[in-house]
Chains A and B, each alone.
Chain A
Amino acid sequence: MRPQPTSTEPVIIAPPGHIEAPREPPRTPRQIARARRKAAAKRVWREYRKNKMGMAGLIILGFFIFVAIFAPLLASSCGLDPTCPSTGPQLQAPTLKYPLGTDDLGRSVLTLTIWGTRISMIVGLVSTAITIFIGVTIGLIAGYYGAWRETVLMRLTDWFLVIPFLPLAIVLATLLGPSFLTVIFVIAITSWPQAARVIRAQVLSLKTRPYVERARALGASDWHLVTRHILPNVGPLIFANTVLTVAVAILYESTLSFLGLGDPLHTSWGTILENSFGAGAPFAGNWWWVVPPGLAIVLVVLSFTMIGYALDDILNPKLRAR
């Protein structure tokens, strides 16, 4: 529902006056382009640092990435196994030894939540990568070639946009059986249409730019035009879109896992919530088992959303002009 950028005046390529002139003049065009992009990236970062919302998001996200990477150091993976000696009494309310209490098998909820970070993040990131890949490919082909390819691909995109996401995801996941890969596949297959539409709109306006026409007149191939001229300029948009897609993907993962369609062998935040609901924790008032995984989801999704909006503010020329 956010406004789509229509203007594509170089977003990452700074106007000539802004180039931080290198001491040694670069020789090849590619080096010039690289220097220009580096300068632009620096400029974006300078602006980003001023954005309070964006920085807050970055800090929260940094914390969770740290937890995901160092999970084995923060909590022994043995704590995920109910037969592990480190398990405590069942359904223990928070104590010093178990800061977030224990579940119905005596496992520490803190350990579960820490390890859940990994699965939730991986599923979110991998499914986003696939989503963006499909979306960019389809958006590029439709926008660049136009004609019948565009008609066919955009019709398909519209169809997938209309089908309600969760029912489709549920049907697919049920048919394919619960697993890690199913969840990733299902999220990707249901989320690409948005990306495809945004990218296509951008490519449509880019391909008529004078510099693209000039390159074409000089005999550049389609491949060269797309990879050297179109893609680098849709890049920032793809980036902002990716960040927002991760947020949605993590939410979807939790919903699918909560419905029992997640991987039974890997603990994600959604799986913890499913287990707690299945064991009747909310109805028995075992709040410590329900609150932490949900709060983790909210914080991570919130951080990606905040970063996405901040990037959009900076990279989207239409918004920046305000």
Chain B
Amino acid sequence: MSTRRYLISKVLQALLTLAFVLAFNFFLFRAVGDPVTQLLRGHSGISGQAVLQLQRQLGLDLPLPQQFVHYVKETFEGHLGYSYFFNLPVSQVIAGRIWPTVLLIGLSTIASTVLGIWIGIHQGWRRGSKYDQGMLGFTLFTYSMPEFWFGLLIIMAFAVGVGPFPALFPTGGYETTGAGYAGMAHIVDVANHMVLPFFVLTLSYLGEYSLIMRSSLLETLGEDFIITARAKGVRENRVLYGHAVPNALLPTMTVTILQLGFVLSGVITIELIFNWPGLGLLTATSVDARDFPVLQGLFLLFSASVIVANLVADLLYSYLDPRVRAG
């Protein structure tokens, strides 16, 4: 397959998946529940007249196919509906929450990838050693731990200060409310609030990356070019960092991007317990408030980001490893 055809087929697949998510989203919120009752949940004493009006306003009196066309058009124009809970358009509600989540996910993903790869390299290089086994145990443990429970423990230990632990950091939030810090002081304040959630997320996902790096490195170390390098008399350190690691990094890198879906899931509970005002906290509060328009918008945004991340991973991999395109 030529490079061009490969790229086009990947992009088409992503678009098709996106279309599926759109249709699924539409179906989910129309078929499983009645949008008007969902919107009016908790608002008692609304006249039949008002319900009819709302139905017309939402286009619910139209036939279903027409509703779908309407919905797709609206979505592409960025109209995601109206949140009666916030009394704001959904797109506006979501837009205000994107930055804190991007900041938190971005920094913790970088940290856990770098650390995970570093640990994985040393594990694979000294396979079967005490270090390797200890790290495997640690990895299994973090994998089995609900992120939010770990977060609660960290809050108790380092924010509340239970027993011998000192209370070092704020229990939650994005910044000190009412302090009105500016410039450098503001950055320090936000960083201070971010230390704990950042730490929890980093540690929760580190294990997956080290595991992938370890097995990828082990596979690479069994390849012929490593034997050749050793036979040539290349120093061990150079065999590892010059020959094995660059090749083993490839799958690890793409997996990092593919993990976005999991990280998104983790961020929902972590933002809730640390009261971090991002998309995850918005999801949790919308669940509580049964704010369906916002949930629908968030679901679309989350799915779209994972689809785009998948596409990026595919394209990146084919660029870095031309064998994929040929196969």
Contacts and interface: CB of A to CB of B under 8 A. Distances in A.
A302 B144 contact: yes
A254 interface: yes
B299 interface: yes
Nearest to B14: A162
Contacts of B160: 282-285
Contact of A164 (B32, B163, B296, B302): B302
B155 interface: yes
Interface stretch (B43-51, B180-188, B267-275): B267-275
A260 B150 CA distance: 18
A176 B144 CA distance: 28
A302 B21 CA distance: 33
A172 B211 CA distance: 32
Contact of A258 (B28, B146, B211, B303): B146
Contacts of B292: 174-175
Contacts of A321: none
A171 B307 CA distance: 18
Interface string B248-263: 0000000100001110
Contacts of B307: 162
B206 to A, nearest CB: 14
**Number of contact residues on A: which range applies?**
35 or more
Contacts of A165: 261-262, 265
B62 to A, nearest CB: 22
A291 interface: yes
Nearest to B279: A167
Interface in B28-62: 28-29, 32-33
A270 B147 CA distance: 12
A166 B268 CA distance: 8
Contacts, number: 142
B146 A255 contact: yes
Given A167-B302, A258-B269, A260-B287, A306 B152 contact: no
B17 A162 contact: yes
B140 interface: yes
Contacts of B29: 175
A173 B114 CA distance: 36
A158 interface: yes
**Number of contact residues on B: which range applies?**
35 or more
Interface in B1-37: 17, 20-21, 24, 28-29, 32-33
B224 to A, nearest CB: 18
Majority secondary structure, B binding face: helix
A235 B324 CA distance: 32
B144 A301 contact: yes
Interface in A235-252: 247, 251
A247 B144 contact: yes
B295 interface: yes
Interface string B195-220: 00000000000001001100100000
A305 B299 CA distance: 30
A170 B295 contact: yes
Interface in A54-102: none
A163 interface: yes
A167 B264 contact: yes
A260 B306 CA distance: 25
Given A167-B265, A175-B28, A285-B160, A261 B299 contact: no
Contacts of B28: 171-172, 175
Contacts of A298: 141, 144-146, 149
B303 A163 contact: yes
B283 to A, nearest CB: 6
B269 to A, nearest CB: 6
Given A164-B261, A291-B153, A254 B144 contact: no
A3 B219 CA distance: 11
State the 6 A-B residue pairs at the shortest beta-carbon distance, nearest first.
A166-B265, A294-B149, A301-B144, A164-B261, A302-B144, A175-B32
Given A174-B292, A294-B146, A298-B146, 17 more contacts: A3-B215, A159-B21, A162-B17, A162-B21, A164-B303, A166-B264, A167-B302, A175-B29, A254-B146, A258-B269, A277-B152, A285-B160, A290-B153, A297-B145, A298-B145, A299-B144, A306-B140
Interface of A: 1, 3, 158-159, 162-168, 170-172, 174-176, 247, 251, 254-255, 258-261, 270, 273, 276-277, 282-285, 287, 290-291, 293-294, 297-299, 301-302, 305-306
29 contacts: A1-B208, A1-B211, A162-B17, A162-B261, A163-B261, A163-B306, A164-B260, A164-B264, A165-B265, A167-B268, A167-B303, A168-B299, A170-B268, A172-B32, A174-B287, A174-B290, A174-B292, A175-B28, A247-B144, A254-B146, A258-B269, A259-B284, A260-B288, A273-B146, A273-B148, A287-B162, A290-B153, A298-B145, A302-B140
Interface of B: 17, 20-21, 24, 28-29, 32-33, 140-141, 143-146, 148-150, 152-153, 155-156, 160-163, 171, 208, 211-212, 215, 255, 260-262, 264-265, 268-269, 272-273, 283-284, 287-288, 290, 292, 295-296, 298-299, 302-303, 306-307, 310
